[in-house]
Chains A and B, each alone.
Chain A
C-alpha cells in the first residue's frame, strides 16, 4: 500500500483503481463507474482504470445501442484523455478468452496479465470494483 500524497494546497491525492468487470449494458454499473472516474479525475486524483472479465466488452468498437434505448457511452471513453486519465489496463486472459484484440477497442490500453493485474491492485490506495 503506497502512502497518499498531499499537494501544496492541501488536497490529498490517492491512487485510485476502478475495476470494470461487467458487460456495458443490461446493468448500470459500467456507466456509473465511468461517471465516478470522470469525477475523480476532476478532483485531480491519480486515476487508474482496469477492464477484466466481461468488462473488456465496455471498450468494444461499433456498439449498436439504439434498440436498447441506451446512449452509446463507449464514445465517452475516448474523452478520458481530455480528463487526464491515461492509465488504462486490460487483462490479457480476459481479452483472449473473448477473442478480442486491442484493435477491437475504442481506445488504446496497456495489456497486462492476471499476475500483473494483482500487483497493480496491491499498489493502490483505493480499489473500486463493479
Chain B
C-alpha cells in the first residue's frame, strides 16, 4: 500500500500512516489530507507543525489531551480546545492530524 506522489511511491500501513517518517514532505501532507477529503488551511498547518515539533523533541505522537495543552500553550486558549481541533480534523485531531503530519498513530489510540 502506498501514496502516489508525482513519480514517487510512499509506503503506508493499512490505516494510512506512512511507514518511514523521513519520507514526509508538505506536498505529501496535502496529498494525504486530500485523500481524506480535507482541505489544508493555515490553521491546519499550525497544528501539523506543533505535532511534528513535539515528535522531534520527544519521539512520540502526543495523546489528544497532551496535544490540546500544547496547542493552548503555543496558539492560545481559544485554539487549545477539543472542539476547535475536532472542527479542523473531524476524524480525531490526534489520529487524523498525526497521519497528515507523517507521525505514527498516537500511543494508546485504538
Chain A residues with CB under 8 Å of chain B are: 35, 38-39, 42, 71-73, 75-76, 78-79, 82-83
Contact A79 to B107, CB < 8 A, known contacts A71-B59, A73-B59:
no
**Which positions in B face A, CB cutoff 8 Å?**
57-60, 62-63, 65-66, 69-70, 107-108
Shortest Cβ distance from residue B28 to the other chain A in the assembled complex, whole angstroms: 21
A82 with B62: CB separation less than 8 A: yes
A-B contact count (CB 8 A): 35
Knowing A38-B63, A82-B69, say if A75 contacts B58 (CB, 8 Å). Answer: yes
Partner of B108, one of A42, A71, A76, A78: A42
- List chain B residues, Cβ under 8 A from A42: 63, 65, 108
User: Is there an interface contact between B107 and A38, defined as CB atoms closer than 8 Å?
Assistant: yes
Taking a contact as CB atoms closer than 8 A, the residue among A75, A82, A83 that contacts B59 in the complex is A75
A71 CA / B56 CA spacing, docked (Å): 11
